[in-house]
Amino acid sequence: MSLARIAARLLAVAALAALTAGCFQPMYAEHSDGTPALREKLMGVELPPLNYPNSSREARLGVEIRNALAFKLYGNATGTSPTHRLVIRIQTTDYTLMTDVNTGLPTSENYGINAQFNLVDIATNKSVMTGTTASRVSFDIPGSYQRFARARAFHDAEDRASQEIAERIQTRLASFFYAGA
């Protein structure tokens, strides 16, 4: 291939890149046409507490998910006057992946959270978006007789799964509002 052909191809690629550069608009950018930015729309989502009995494991997970989601939606600020309400329900799973052949006790487990969420428009009290998401994390138990280590590993797995659920719900909300809702 000649040097002129390579230069022509590079020039064509650069020209196409320059033409499409103006088409890109960051998702969280401020709009010049006066429409609310995505950040403002996300700050209008009300996050009521998850409805689980006090002191239950689900109540603790609900607080973890709600706090993580609030930080992802609002950042350091607080929400504005709510335009939407997000209702979340969760179910958890826990099962053993591997057991020690000598003791029969688990050495590795898998923990999961399944979440269903419903975004309700407060003005009309109608559901505008529903969805489900799930998170699965595994954790090792560093000794079959170390109960505290297992409890700590389980707690950390719950926290990691809660963070993933919050991240996935935030992404779904951002894409919903960005699409023009």
pLDDT at 38: 80
Confidence tier at 36 by pLDDT (50, 70, 90): low
pLDDT in tens, 111-146: 999 999 999 999 999 999 999 999 999 988 876 567
CB neighbourhood size of 55 (10 A): 7
pLDDT in tens, 62-111: 999 999 999 998 887 665 789 999 999 999 998 888 887 887 777 888 99
pLDDT at 127: 95
Confidence tier at 24 by pLDDT (50, 70, 90): low
Q: Tell me if 70 sits within 8 A of 78, measured CB to CB.
A: no
111 half-sphere exposure, CB direction, 13 A CA radius: 21
**How far is the C-alpha of 40 from the C-alpha of 29, rounded, in Å?**
11
Tokens encoding 6: 């390579």
- Position 39 pLDDT exceeds 90: no
Residue 77 DSSP code:
S
pLDDT at 40: 84
Residue 88 DSSP code:
E
pLDDT at 113: 96
Tokens encoding 112: 């999961």
| β-strands 84-99, 45-46 pairing | parallel
- Position 22 pLDDT exceeds 70: no
Pick the CATH number of 36-178 from 1.10.730.10, 3.30.70.600, 3.30.160.150, 1.10.275.10: 3.30.160.150
Tokens encoding 166: 């919050």
- Position 31 pLDDT exceeds 60: no
For residue 172, count CB atoms less than 10 angstroms from its CB and return exposed for 0-12, middle for 13-18, buried for 19 or more: middle
Q: Tell me if 90 sits within 8 A of 61, measured CB to CB.
A: yes
pLDDT at 98: 85
**What whole-number percentage of the chain has pLDDT above 90?**
46
pLDDT at 45: 92
pLDDT at 25: 61
pLDDT at 2: 80
Q: Worst-scoring range by mean pLDDT, 20-34, 100-114, 145-159?
A: 20-34
User: Domain ranges in the chain?
Assistant: 36-178
- Position 33 pLDDT exceeds 90: no
